[in-house]
Amino acid sequence: MFMESNSQYHIRKMLAGDIPQVMEIDLDAFPDQWPHPTSNSFQHELRNKLAHYIVIYQESSAASGDDGRGVIGLKEVVSYIRQLFNRDRFGGADNSNYGRERLAGMAGIWMMFDEAHIVTIAVRKTHKHQGLGEWLLLNIIDLSMQLRAKYVTLEVRVSNTAAQALYEKYGFSRAGTRKKYYSDNGEDAVIMTTCELDLPSYQDRLQRLKEDHHSRCSHCCAVHLMKFMEY
C-alpha cells in the first residue's frame, strides 16, 4: 500500500545546486556502497553530454508561498524569476534550489550509442513506499525514448530481488551476470535489459503501467511525459 502525501511530487532535470541533496540521497539509499560519488564527480556528470540525471522534489513552503499567511514575499518572487532565467544553466548559485525544494529521489542514465544505461535510481528512506522509485523508472524510460535509445539496460545486486521484480514488471529481462561487481562486498550483479522500446507491444505495456501507477500514486504529478529535451 502506498502512503498518502499532502503535497505533490514533481520531476525535473538535475541542476548543480541539487548536488548537496543528491549526495545525501545517495548515502541514505546506499549506506554500504563504496566509494560514494563526490561533489566533483556529480559536477562532472552534469557537464558530461552522455549523462542525463533527473530528480524528484517537493516544493517547500518558501518556494510555494504556503507559509500560513497566504502571502509570497518579494524575496521569493525575485528568487523565482532568477530561477526561470538560469534554470537551463549548470553551475552557479542562481540555479540552486537547495533549501527551497526538498529532493526525495534521483536517477541517471548514460547514453551509449543506441543504449540508455541506468547508472542509479535512489529514493530517501523517509520517502520509501510511495511509488517514487517506480515513478523515477517510468520517467527514465520516457527520457531514454526521447533520447532515441533503442534499449534500456542496468545492473542490480543479485540479492536485491525486490528491485529485480520491479524491473521485470517494466519489461527488463536477465541478460547475464557481472561477477564481484560491487566493491563493498564483492557481490555479483545481474545484467538486465529491455526489449526494443519502440515495439508496439512494449509501448502498450508501458502505457498500461503509467495509468496503473497514476491511479495508485495521485501524489505524483499527473504528467509523466516531461519534455526533458526542451527543459
Q: Is 170 a catalytic residue?
A: no
Q: What amino acid is encoded at 158 in this protein?
A: V
User: Which residue is catalytic, options 9, 53, 57, 167?
Assistant: 167
Report yes or no: 34 and 183 within 8 Å, Cβ to Cβ: yes
Q: Is 196 a catalytic residue?
A: no
Give the DSSP letter string of the chain. Answer: -PPP-SS-BEEEE--GGGHHHHHHHHHHH-TT-SSPPPHHHHHHHHH-TTEEEEEEEEE-HHHHS-SSSS---HHHHHHHHHHHHHTT--SSGGG--BTTEEEEEEEEEEEETTEEEEEEEEE-GGGTTSSHHHHHHHHHHHHHHHTT-SEEEEEEETT-HHHHHHHHHTT-EEEEEETT--TTT---EEEEE-S-TT-HHHHHHHHHHHHHHHHH-TTB-S-----GGG-
Length of the chain counted residue by residue: 231
User: Which residue is catalytic, options 59, 155, 181, 202?
Assistant: 155
Which residues are catalytically annotated?
155, 167
